[in-house]
Amino acid sequence: MHFDDNVKKLWEEIKELKQERNAVILAHYYQKPEVQEVADLVGDSLELARRAAETDADVIVFCGVHFMAESAAILSPDKTVILPVEEAGCAMADMVTAELLQDKKKELPNAVVVTYVNSSAAVKAESDICCTSANVVKIIKSIPEDKDILFVPDRNLGAYAARKTNRKIELWAGHCPVHHELTVEDVTKAREMHPQAKLLVHPECPPEIIELADYVSSTSGLLRYARESSVEEFIIGTEEGILHQLAKENPGKHFYILHKEKLICPDMKYITLPKLKESLEKMEPQVTVPQDTREKALNCLQRMLDMK
Ligand code: 13P
Ligand code: SF4
């Protein structure tokens, strides 16, 4: 991919500011290519959470969405955590609140609450263990057979984990509006256009799409599959930002997005290089979590991170 001189100048300025602040820049695979390129680590939710917990930088600049920056603040309370654009949220995370979860827990007193990392700190504080799409199957398998399971908030990911583990799971009625809009017709059309291509999808997709896929995984899992596969063409059923790393890691292979308009997460696209630079200059917007919420949410996140 070609980047113009203006982008290169901004990279230099951001790198200088980063050194002055002793900051680390973490970016999710769904970020804009020019933002991914200036980051110290580009990763999936699990990799980014691990790095946020381990970094020795003073400042963590999170190029992603609010719950990711919040997780960094929970894991590294002594660091300054910056989310360059305050409004960058997650529509799925907003589909559950701590109050609604408290009510549901009363209905299911024997249930272990497994909460997707795409959730607020307040919701994590009400949960037993966290998961990402990279470790959901492992986390569900770790729960004793005599326990009920409530999975929050992504019903598609929860249903996928239930099928993979053969466990009965109570599902919260949340979903990712980006992945959930995909239809069987979208798959049919894409396969007609690219009959040789393998279909790789994220487990946030609805079950009927997962059923049709050749491979289902988190963003890092999809990248690994594309790298290791001898196939040369792939239809990608996740947010389009991932195409940048796919193309970068696989020169000569071809990647087609399953649906051009649907697979864009507007929140993931809020962060631009000028916004990133400005946030390092001003050292804001900062993300913090109240102490009592932080302690409870940390238990939920730490149980996940302790599972190797
Ligand atoms: P992963 O990178 O963990 O697969 O997460 C996908 C996602 O939707 C993040 O918002
Ligand atoms: Fe949330 Fe979906 Fe956007 Fe990920 S892609 S941040 S789950 S709305």
Note the pLDDT tens digit of each residue in 29-86: 999 999 999 999 999 998 998 999 999 999 999 999 999 999 999 999 999 999 999 9
What local confidence, expressed as pLDDT, does residue 46 receive? 87
Q: Tokens at residue 46, please?
A: 């699990």
Question: Hey, which residues does 152 pair with through a beta bridge?
Answer: 115
Q: Which residues line ligand 2 (CB under 6 A)?
A: 65, 90-92, 118, 176-178, 239, 265, 267-268
Which residue, among 302, 301, 308, has the nearest Cα to 119 in the 3D structure? 301
The residue contributing the CA closest to ligand 2 atom 2 is 176
What local confidence, expressed as pLDDT, does residue 238 receive? 98
Whole-structure pTM value: 0.96
Q: Which ligand is nearest to the CA of 202?
A: 1
Instruction: Return d(Cα 277, Cα 16) in angstroms, integer.
Output: 10
What local confidence, expressed as pLDDT, does residue 302 receive? 95
What local confidence, expressed as pLDDT, does residue 308 receive? 73
Would you tell me how many other CB atoms lie within 10 Å of the CB of residue 103? 9
Coil vs helix vs strand at 167: coil
Would you tell me how many other CB atoms lie within 10 Å of the CB of residue 186? 17
The residue contributing the CA closest to ligand 1 atom 2 is 44
Residues of the chain scoring pLDDT < 50: none
228 burial level (CB within 10 Å; 0-12, 13-18, 19+): exposed
φ, ψ at 114 (rounded to 5°): -100, 120
Q: Please, what are the domains in the chain?
A: 5-90+268-288 (3.40.50.10800), 93-177+293-305 (3.40.50.10800), 179-265 (3.40.50.10800)
First vs last C-alpha separation in the chain: 36
Is cis: bond before 153, omega within 30 of 0?
A: yes
Look at strands 170-171 and 198-201 and give their pairing. unpaired
Q: Rounded to the nearest whole angstrom, what is the distance from the C-alpha of residue 85 to the centroid of ligand 1?
A: 18
What local confidence, expressed as pLDDT, does residue 286 receive? 98
- Ligand 2 atom nearest 204 alpha carbon: 7
What local confidence, expressed as pLDDT, does residue 248 receive? 97
What local confidence, expressed as pLDDT, does residue 78 receive? 94
Q: Which ligand is nearest to the CA of 117?
A: 1
The residue whose CB lies within 8 Å of the most ligand 1 atoms, and thus the one to mutate among 202, 205, 269, 270, is 202
Q: Tokens at residue 88, please?
A: 């960058």
Strand order in the sheet with 170-171: 129-131, 111-116, 148-152, 170-171
Note the pLDDT tens digit of each residue in 149-178: 999 999 999 999 999 999 999 999 999 999
Coil vs helix vs strand at 132: coil
What local confidence, expressed as pLDDT, does residue 9 receive? 98
- Ligand 1 atom nearest 179 alpha carbon: 8
Q: Tokens at residue 222, please?
A: 């999809």
Helical spans, DSSP H, in the chain: 5-21, 33-38, 45-54, 66-75, 98-107, 121-125, 136-141, 155-165, 177-180, 184-193, 207-212, 219-228, 242-249, 273-282, 291-306
Instruction: Return d(Cα 276, Cα 25) in angstroms, integer.
Output: 9
- Ligand 1 atom nearest 217 alpha carbon: 4
What local confidence, expressed as pLDDT, does residue 295 receive? 97
The residue contributing the CA closest to ligand 2 atom 5 is 265
Contact 264, 239 (CB under 8 A): yes
φ, ψ at 131 (rounded to 5°): -150, 165
